[in-house]
Structure 1
Amino acid sequence: MRITRKPLSRRTVLRGAGTAMALPFLEAMMPGAYAADIGARPKRLQVFYSPNGMTMPEYRPTGEGTAFTLPPTLEPLEPHKDAITFITGLGHPQAAAMGDAPAGHGRSCPAFLTGAHARQTEGPDIRCGTSMDQVFAAHLGDATQIPSTELSIDLPSMAGSCDINYSCAYTNGISWLTPTVPLPVEANPRAVFERLFGDGEALDEKSRLARLRKQASILDFVMEDTARLSGKLGMEDRRKLDEYLDATRAIEKRIQRAESSPPPAQAASMTQPAGIPDDFAEHVKLMIDLQILAMQADMTRVGTFMIGRELSNRTYPEIGVPDSHHMLSHHGNNPEKMRQLAKINRYHMTFFAYALQRMKETKDGEGSLFDRTLVIRGSAFGDSNEHDFLDLPVAVSGGLVQGGRHVRVEHGTTMSNLLLAGLNLLDVPVTSFGDSTGPLQELIRA
């Protein structure tokens, strides 16, 4: 590693045997006059997606403007209420059948970030639209080592049909690089970690295997380079570097525990993918923390996270819900099934609250990662029993928008207007997106 006169190159890395580890965003990387200027720091985008819709009566806030209260599903977000804008009335008209088969998930999921109508097909000729996150990633170009991260809790389904006459490619993820290229999601924390802290894509295979056998830390490989760099940094940068390295080691230990923990007795006949914790909550938090670490290092500024694949049949016995999520979403207005679905929805909100808290407590210069991040949380359906794609449960947060509001827009207003406004807030000079009619003024107006 070569240290030059300040400002330190944004491409500076810590090097060791078979390893190249990115640095967090340091004051030394900025011209002195701008080091404390939060406006000069990079903007980021994070999307948090939950599948299978909502029990809307338990979700929708009461009251409007700043005078609103949170219903049971949203109560976990109370500590962040002043930082969130809840928007009622947004939909995706492009998720309508338009003469196609009466499927719902296969059209609504791909429309979520694209505002486009998915081509009905079970074959390789899939087509939808470029997603909003990838428009932002393309705008950033090569500003970061990794253009974007697409994380999930569920492994992708096998090729074929997952919804009626619709390819599984439409429900495995929400990010589309182009109208014909959906981006694959990654559910294995070990794979994510190695992508972040390898030589740009993956660790040297020999070194990776040696480290796994020893249960060694990546930090052990770059210790000498770390000491050399630390001596040339100011006090605040040394503190930030120490926090970053501590967070990296903590995540490593959690991944190692997941890999070494024996599977539960009932899973004895199953092959557990290495690095994926058996505990759902630990898995979710680990994936969120990996995204936070990637942003902290400015390895990427764009991330999407699916807490469940669309059509997910996961059960949640840990919260007293032994039935399948997707099955419960088709509750037929059965009160008990609706109650169980609401418990899942609320449980997912606890992890969204966790993500917001982690962004708020992670330093970024004089502020935090939260200050310069646009956060979008949503689902492809409102009322899951009806596959209602015209009243979506959408919330927006982050320091780039005014929070503490419940905003109602005309029912069925295309969510593409919100995605367009989001791109403008991220300084992407576009005037249209998907089926937008203009940027959503309620988002960009203070």
Structure 2
Amino acid sequence: MNAVSRRRMLISGSTALMLPNLESNLHAARGSSAGIPKRLVFLTMGYGVNSENWFPSTDQVGTEYDLPPLLESFGDLKSDFSIIQNLTNQRLAGPHAGSQNFLSCASLGKKGDGNSVSCDQLAAQVLGQDTRHSSLAIAGSRWRVDGHGSYVSWSPDGKPVGTYEKTSAVYTALFGTGGKAAEVLAKIQRQQSSLDAILGNARRLNGEISTADRHRVDEYFTSIRNIESRLSKAQDWVERPYPTAPFPQPPGRIGGKEEIELMLDMMVVAMQSDSTRVLSYMIPTLRVLQSLQTRVNPHQMSHKASGDLDPQSVHQRRDRMLAELVSGFIRKLKNTKEADGSSLLDHSLVAYGSSLRQGHGTSNVPLLLAGHGGGGLMQGQNIVCKPKVTPLANLWLSMLRHVGVQTNQFANSDRVLTEVGFA
């Protein structure tokens, strides 16, 4: 069987990742799960978008609306997504908290410390029971540079969920490192022993330091506990083969929009192989700016570009490139077929948005919801909610209920979004 290069795969963006040498491996990895699973994807950008060119007119409610200039790349997908206006993350401590509570809508307080469970992790408790990874939380660069704050995914105990920060790390998580099961198990056990020793030292250290330092040490060792949790689940899966990798392992850092594109491609494979059903990705805006060959940093741009509508300005080109990357991802989901002939997009929900607009605005956050979630939704709309009083948490509650999480409340939610067809 001939190998197919990554370049060839990316060139054929309209046909996604449906390669002959993947068909048997990817569907075999699905295991004995009954029916086709639902999947959730959360894509967050750091410093938001220019609302003048990103949102449709509020006078064009429903399906008959004109796509705004910055979303023109979604034109052929119009029946597969909706734009939801006037959602507000009312508990955001301030614009510099970034994405920290985007998926939790937790009350961060003045310092922005701590958090509560994020919606992706609640979904992972239901959707992640039969997959190699309960969820994948991906961060593409140093968070504060991109306006993401700290983490976006938070465990039920309010601790940050460890993120995969390099393309090579995501690749290893999805396709393994090779080796026989006994060798892999021995390696996992060695890593667990090392972590046990580190955590033991941490407990002794906590008795010898100040309260303030203890908080910092606890934050550090949270990442160790996250690794320990991953290793525990990896041990349960050691006898089950990884799906075949569709391209060689990439370097840790690629840079530019190519790095984002590769991450999104691997996310498609993760969903198609049923390696996970819940993904979050803190998109690295700085990588886009690198591709645009500008030295303007994301934070500076967010402060100064709120009124500039010149199509050739840096922030407009950035927003357009982000939209092209995300629409390309959604297009691949639509063109990647399930065993019954339906598509990944038919059974997935993809939320793309931010806690901010340009100019550091925190109300009416940009939010695009794509996918059909297994059916029952009414996509293709420009939905305009009541301004300033419609919590972003309403969307997360709606999505959680749609995938089987038994709850009537999430954070400060007050209803499900029936406008989209949620019940």
Normalised TM-score (structure 1):
0.68
| Alignment correspondent of 1:388 | 361
Q: 1:418 aligns with which of 372, 395, 402?
A: 395
Report Cα offsets for 1:329-371 as digits up to 9, x if no partner. Answer: 1016563799321221111111101110121122211212111
Check if 1:376 corresponds to 2:373: no
Check if 1:349 corresponds to 2:323: yes
Please give the alpha-carbon distance, in whole angstroms, between the structure 2 residues aligned to 1:292 and 1:315. Answer: 20
Please give the alpha-carbon distance, in whole angstroms, between the structure 1 residues aligned to 2:301 and 2:185. Answer: 44
Higher strand share: 1
For residues 442 and 364 of structure 1, do their structure 2 counterparts lie closer, same or farther at Cα, with a shift above 3 Å needed? same
- 1:35-74 equivalence runs, <5 A: 40-62=35-57, 63-74=60-71
**Does the CA contact (< 8 Å) of 2:257 and 2:288 recur in 1?**
no
User: What amino acid sits opposite 2:253 in the alignment?
Assistant: I
* Aligned residue pairs, count: 337
Identity over aligned pairs, percent: 25
Q: 1:86 aligns with which of 72, 83, 86?
A: 83
- 1:36-435 equivalence runs, <5 A: 40-62=35-57, 63-95=60-92, 97=93, 103-106=94-97, 108-121=98-111, 126-140=113-127, 142-156=129-143, 171-178=149-156, 180-198=158-176, 204=184, 245=244, 248-250=245-247, 252=248, 255=250, 259=251, 275-278=252-255, 280-308=256-284, 316=289, 318-319=291-292, 321-331=294-304, 333=306, 335=308, 339-366=313-340, 367-382=342-357, 384-385=358-359, 387-400=360-373, 401-412=377-388, 413-435=390-412
Please give the alpha-carbon distance, in whole angstroms, between the structure 2 residues aligned to 1:352 and 1:445. Answer: 23
For residues 105 and 196 of structure 1, do their structure 2 counterparts lie closer, same or farther at Cα, with a shift above 3 Å needed? same
For residues 153 and 365 of structure 1, do their structure 2 counterparts lie closer, same or farther at Cα, with a shift above 3 Å needed? same
SS at match of 2:155: strand
Check if 1:437 corresponds to 2:398: no
Structure 2 runs not aligned, ≥5 long? 1-23, 188-239
User: What amino acid sits opposite 1:435 in the alignment?
Assistant: N
SS at match of 2:137: strand
Please give the alpha-carbon distance, in whole angstroms, between the structure 2 residues aligned to 1:72 and 1:116. Answer: 33
**Does the CA contact (< 8 Å) of 2:136 and 2:280 recur in 1?**
yes
For residues 82 and 321 of structure 1, do their structure 2 counterparts lie closer, same or farther at Cα, with a shift above 3 Å needed? farther
Please give the alpha-carbon distance, in whole angstroms, between the structure 2 residues aligned to 1:84 and 1:56. Answer: 18
For residues 25 and 440 of structure 1, do their structure 2 counterparts lie closer, same or farther at Cα, with a shift above 3 Å needed? same
For residues 28 and 198 of structure 1, do their structure 2 counterparts lie closer, same or farther at Cα, with a shift above 3 Å needed? closer
User: What amino acid sits opposite 1:51 in the alignment?
Assistant: G
For residues 396 and 79 of structure 1, do their structure 2 counterparts lie closer, same or farther at Cα, with a shift above 3 Å needed? same
For residues 388 and 334 of structure 1, do their structure 2 counterparts lie closer, same or farther at Cα, with a shift above 3 Å needed? closer
| Alignment correspondent of 2:26 | 24
For residues 156 and 23 of structure 1, do their structure 2 counterparts lie closer, same or farther at Cα, with a shift above 3 Å needed? farther
SS at match of 1:305: strand
Report Cα offsets for 1:165-207 as digits up to 9, x if no partner. Answer: xxx9x7133111135311232221111111222389x994999
User: What amino acid sits opposite 2:114 in the alignment?
Assistant: R
User: What amino acid sits opposite 2:316 in the alignment?
Assistant: A
SS at match of 1:418: helix
Please give the alpha-carbon distance, in whole angstroms, between the structure 1 residues aligned to 2:381 and 2:309. Answer: 31
How far residue 283 of structure 1 moved from its aligned partner, in angstroms, is 0.7
Report Cα offsets for 1:387-412 as digits up to 9, x if no partner. Answer: 22220110111122322110100002
SS at match of 2:171: helix
| Alignment correspondent of 1:18 | none
The two structures, once aligned, show a CA RMSD in angstroms of: 3.3
Normalised TM-score (structure 2):
0.72
**Does the CA contact (< 8 Å) of 1:198 and 1:204 recur in 2?**
no
**Does the CA contact (< 8 Å) of 1:315 and 1:321 recur in 2?**
no
Please give the alpha-carbon distance, in whole angstroms, between the structure 1 residues aligned to 2:127 and 2:290. Answer: 42
SS at match of 2:385: strand
Please give the alpha-carbon distance, in whole angstroms, between the structure 1 residues aligned to 2:301 and 2:422. Answer: 38
For residues 118 and 334 of structure 1, do their structure 2 counterparts lie closer, same or farther at Cα, with a shift above 3 Å needed? same
Please give the alpha-carbon distance, in whole angstroms, between the structure 1 residues aligned to 2:46 and 2:262. Answer: 19
Please give the alpha-carbon distance, in whole angstroms, between the structure 1 residues aligned to 2:118 and 2:304. Answer: 31
Please give the alpha-carbon distance, in whole angstroms, between the structure 1 residues aligned to 2:155 and 2:78. Answer: 33
How far residue 24 of structure 1 moved from its aligned partner, in angstroms, is 2.4
For residues 336 and 407 of structure 1, do their structure 2 counterparts lie closer, same or farther at Cα, with a shift above 3 Å needed? closer
| Alignment correspondent of 1:237 | none
**Does the CA contact (< 8 Å) of 1:93 and 1:414 recur in 2?**
yes
User: What amino acid sits opposite 2:96 in the alignment?
Assistant: H
**Does the CA contact (< 8 Å) of 2:50 and 2:306 recur in 1?**
no
Please give the alpha-carbon distance, in whole angstroms, between the structure 2 residues aligned to 1:349 and 1:299. Answer: 26
Please give the alpha-carbon distance, in whole angstroms, between the structure 1 residues aligned to 2:185 and 2:28. Answer: 30
**Does the CA contact (< 8 Å) of 2:82 and 2:368 recur in 1?**
yes
| Alignment correspondent of 2:19 | none
User: What amino acid sits opposite 2:403 in the alignment?
Assistant: L
